Amino acid sequence: MAFVNHVTKNLAIKIVYYGPGLSGKTTNLRYIYFKLDSSSRGELVCIETEMERTFFFDLLPIRAGLIGDFKVHFQLMTVPGQIFYEASRKNVLRGADGIVFVADSQIPLLDANLESLDNLRRNLLELDRDIYAIPLVFQYNKRDLENLIPVETFNRLLNPRNLPYVEASAINGVGVFETLKEVAKMTVPLVREQVLGQKPATETERVRGAEEKKVEVEFLPSDKEADVSLKKYKLRTLEEIDMELERLSREFLDKPKKTRPA
C-alpha cells in the first residue's frame, strides 16, 4: 500500500517497472528524469550490489488531484531484469501500488517476455499479491526496430485481459509519458479508496472509475535537458537493499509540502 505521512500530508504511490533484461526499464526512468523540471522530481538513485543495480527516484506531479488532504507523489523504481536476481526483484515489488511491464518487441525476445511475465506472477504470489488485483500496464517497447512481434500477438499472449498498453520507443521518448499516465490513471483511484477507507473496487470497477473520474496527471517539463545527477549506494546484502528502499521511500514524505505553480 502507498506510503502516507499524516503530518506533512504527503502520499507516495509506488510504481515498479518490470520486464526482461535490457527491455528498456531504466531507459524509461532516465527519459522521464531528464525531461522533468528539477522542481518536479527528486534525485536519481542507483542502489548497487557487486553484481546488480536498481534505479529509484520520486516524482512530484503538478496535478494529480488530492486524495483527501494529501498531495500525491509517485515513486518510480526498476527491477534488475536478469532472471538470477530473483530475490532483489521480489524485494522491489513489495508494496507496489502499480506495475508497468516493459516488453521487448523484438521477435527473438518473445520467450524472454513470457518468462518474465510468469516470473512476475510467481513473485507476486509469494508476496501474497494477485496479479489480477494490482494495476498493470503493458509497454511494448522498441517499436522503432525491425523484426517486431505484432501488437496482436503481444495482447493475445501477454495481455488477454485487454489491460491498457502503449506502443513505445523509450530511447526516443515515444510512449514513455503515455505509459506513466496510464498507470497513474489506474493507481490513483485505488489508492484513494485505500486512504479514505472505502471498500476496494474490483478491477473492472477501478478501470471504469478511472475513466469516469477522468483522472489526469500532468508533469512539469523542463525547457532543457536535465543534468545527470546520480546518487549511488553500494550495498552488500538483500536485507540492506530492503532497508535502504524503505528509508528512501519514507525520507521525502517527511519534507513539508511546497507550494506548486498551477
Mean pLDDT of the chain, nearest integer: 79
Which residues are CB-contacts of 193 (< 8 A; sequence separation ≥ 6)?
Answer: 199, 200, 201
pLDDT tens-digit profile of 107-141?
Answer: 999 999 999 999 999 999 999 999 999 999 999 99
pTM score, whole prediction: 0.82
Residue 146 pLDDT greater than 90, yes or no:
yes
In this prediction, residue 250 carries a pLDDT of 67
In this prediction, residue 105 carries a pLDDT of 98
The pLDDT of 82-104, averaged and rounded, is 83
- 3 state DSSP class of 167: strand
Residue 21 pLDDT greater than 50, yes or no:
yes
The pLDDT of 19-30, averaged and rounded, is 90
The residue among 258, 239, 259 whose CA lies nearest residue 247 is: 239
Q: Which residue has 513505445 as its cell numbers? A: 168
pLDDT tens-digit profile of 243-261?
Answer: 776 776 666 566 655 444 4
In this prediction, residue 236 carries a pLDDT of 59
pLDDT tens-digit profile of 180-218?
Answer: 999 999 998 888 888 767 554 555 555 554 444 455 667
- 3 state DSSP class of 12: strand
Q: Distance between CA atoms of 146 and 138, rounded to whole angstroms?
A: 20
Domain topology for 3-254: Rossmann fold (3.40.50)
In this prediction, residue 233 carries a pLDDT of 65
